[in-house]
Chains A and B, each alone.
Chain A
Amino acid sequence: MDLNLSIKKKLPHFDIDVSFSCRKGRLLVLVGPSGAGKTTLVRMLAGLDRPDHGRITYDGETWVDTDTGIFLPPQKRHVGYVFQEYTLFPHLSVAKNVAFSAADKGDVPSLLRRFNIWHLKDRKPDRISGGERQRCAICQAMARRPRLLLLDEPFSALDAVTRQNLREELQKLKRELSIPIIHVTHDISEALYLGDDVLPMVNGRVVRKWMVQFMLKGRLPEPEQFFEDRADYNPRERRDLSVLYDSLEVMH
């Protein structure tokens, strides 16, 4: 009853090579510097990009299997996807955006109230604030009753106060839902605040999960330990790891 993923994809500067699982009711955070391949990974989960090799399965259903040529299009995955940038339909009001592909139109008023945007229901997206737009985008994704929720840096363009409010709302939402949630961010504090599982990602690879466990337990690994068995990394990858390590150290 999990989301399972094991994929490879060649990108211009590095290859994505990632395997992980996410259970229902868990929030998995992919954290890493910009350009680490996080968004491409989420797009592959949504069906907007295709991996070169690998498999994605959900609840026993195969979404992608490059060996057998299976590729389930985005329309059939029933995924909720909140993009980094605002992608509400500009010609529709807030309520119509949420109702756009709602599984049950009757859910719309309660969702609008749940996310505190009922009073904005007749406004167009260009007449509401960034935070309100992202609330609306989450609402729109939820109205579809998704089997998997993907959040691609949804709070990155927001001010600190709005960001914190939305983080708290997401925490509440996580407790109410029994679906896997994948959240992408470059903000380590956000990752630690929200994540049941945190996967640090650099240059298309998931770096050791134990590193985050170390952090949660109150101590960082020594740099030598952090970089051990990374001899096969090229100079750029080592530099990216250094950046990640420094940001973890600052957070710590």
Chain B
Amino acid sequence: MDPAPLYLSLKLAVVTTVVLVILAAPLTYLLVYVRFAGKSFFEALLSLPMVLPPTVLGFYLLLVMTPQGSVGRFWKAATGSPLIFTFAGIVLASLVYSLPFAIQPMKASFEKIDRRLLESAYVLGLSPLAAFFRVIIPNAINGLAASAILVFIHTLGEFGVILMVGGSIPGETKVASIAIYEAVEALRYRDAAMMCLVLVPVSYFFLLVINRLTQRRIYGS
């Protein structure tokens, strides 16, 4: 069994998780604490990747990420290399695809924080930004951890979107799920089984951790 696809899946999952947790926290703050026009439309837009078929999302991402597409053109101008069929490309696709999975648990934990704690922080002299880091984040730490794990295991299992925008380039975009598919297609069941044997317990373990985290009392609730 070639371990490269597993390593690539792991790398993609780690990068996506780190970027998404950092990106989703302020977005979730916006959704929970800030009132603005069109908020429900914005929230639905952020959740859209959760309900769209991966091939549909992959198709639109493919259109914008080609060198002729807006994002692909910008990327090429900035870095000199194409975005499509690269590791950077599948990272971007993963970020879009897993964004709602990062936001949902975070939103639930932000909403459980008593608003009077924030008011107390403001009266005690904290700016909204300082209150975000010193009150919201520490009290939503379980939700943040649940988000991170959910994104991680969701990214490990990604298939359709990655195939659409990354193809199957060994060492670059050929992640474990695609390698399993190809192994089965080529009747290499032993290789497929070995990779599955690694992915199933990893995913199961992280799901158990999520359950523990979400069952624990969240501070401020």
Contact = CB atoms under 8 A, between A and B. Distances in A.
Majority DSSP secondary structure for residues of A touching B: loop
B122 A83 contact: no
Nearest to A75: B125
A47 B220 CA distance: 22
A90 interface: yes
Main secondary structure of the interface of B (DSSP, over half): helix
Contact of B123 (A74, A89, A90): A74
A81 B219 contact: no
A89 B116 contact: no
Interface of A: 46-48, 73-75, 77-81, 83, 85, 87, 89-91, 100-101, 140, 144
Interface in B105-146: 114, 116-117, 119-127, 134-135, 138-139, 141
B123 A85 contact: no
B139 A90 contact: yes
A47 B77 CA distance: 49
Nearest to B137: A91
Interface of B: 114, 116-117, 119-127, 134-135, 138-139, 141, 219-220
B116 A87 contact: yes
Contacts of A78: 125
Contacts of B122: 47-48, 73-75
B127 A83 contact: no
B139 A101 contact: no
Please name the 10 residue pairs, one residue from A and one from B, whose CB atoms are nearest each other, closest first.
A101-B124, A90-B219, A87-B120, A91-B138, A74-B122, A81-B123, A74-B123, A87-B116, A101-B125, A75-B125
Nearest to A78: B125
B117 A87 contact: yes
A83 B219 contact: no
A140 B141 CA distance: 24
A146 B141 CA distance: 31
Nearest to A77: B123
A210 to B, nearest CB: 34
Contacts of A100: 124, 134
7 contacts: A47-B122, A74-B119, A75-B126, A85-B116, A90-B139, A91-B219, A100-B134
A249 to B, nearest CB: 35
B120 A83 contact: yes
A47 B123 CA distance: 8
Contacts of B124: 100-101, 140, 144
A30 to B, nearest CB: 18
Contacts of B121: 89
Contacts of A85: 116
- A75, A77, A81, A85 interface centre (most CB from chain B within 10 Å): A75
Contacts of A75: 122-123, 125-127
Which of A80, A81, A91, A100 is packed against the most chain B CB atoms within 10 Å?
A91
Contacts of A83: 116, 119-120
Given A74-B119, A89-B139, 11 more contacts: A48-B119, A75-B122, A75-B125, A75-B127, A81-B123, A83-B120, A87-B114, A87-B119, A87-B120, A100-B134, A101-B125
